[in-house]
Structure 1
């Protein structure tokens, strides 16, 4: 039977997710505005227009930085 979940690293912490999840799905899961986030995927910066095309794989490493305004 195929395992339906994988473990990835998000900001250095393990996270279990479905094996068919894209970065876009992950951003939506965390309720983050995809236009206000920076994502490093396996040490490469990626753009928001790439989020939907990249499916997460076992042991992927993501750094997710949200951009917040202030004054």
Structure 2
């Protein structure tokens, strides 16, 4: 049985018991993939690496969405 892992996403604590990568997380929350900046443990992630970075116990993730205005 997989171990329950906790992580922080945009200052809220979440729990997961399966292997999850950054891309899976973005899809789950239905973010617009074209308008995002992801910070993973205080480092900016390149879009090409989202499927290679798996969430671990205690990770801190910030999702910043870009909006236009005028």
> TM-score, normalised on structure 2?
0.87
Question: Counterparts in 2 of 1:18-33, with a 5 A limit?
Answer: 18-33=17-32
3-state DSSP class of the match of 2:25? helix
Matched, 1:2 2:2: yes
Instruction: Specify every segment of 5 or more residues in structure 2 that has no aligned partner in the other structure, as ranges.
Output: none
- Structure 1 residues not aligned, in runs of 5+: none
Match of 2:53 in 1: 54
SS of 2:51's partner is helix
Cα deviation digits, residues 28-58 of structure 1 (max 9, x gap)? 0000122211111001111111111101001
Q: Is the 8 A contact 2:6 2:13 kept in 1?
A: yes
Q: Corresponding residue for 2:13?
A: 14
The CA deviation at 1:69 is 2.1
SS at 1:24 equivalent: helix
Q: Distance in 1 between matches of 2:64 and 2:22?
A: 13
Count of residue correspondences: 70
Shift in Å, 1:17: 2.2
Alpha-carbon RMSD across the aligned residues, in angstroms, is 1.4
Structure 1 residue ranges (4+ consecutive) displaced by more than 3 angstroms after TM superposition: none
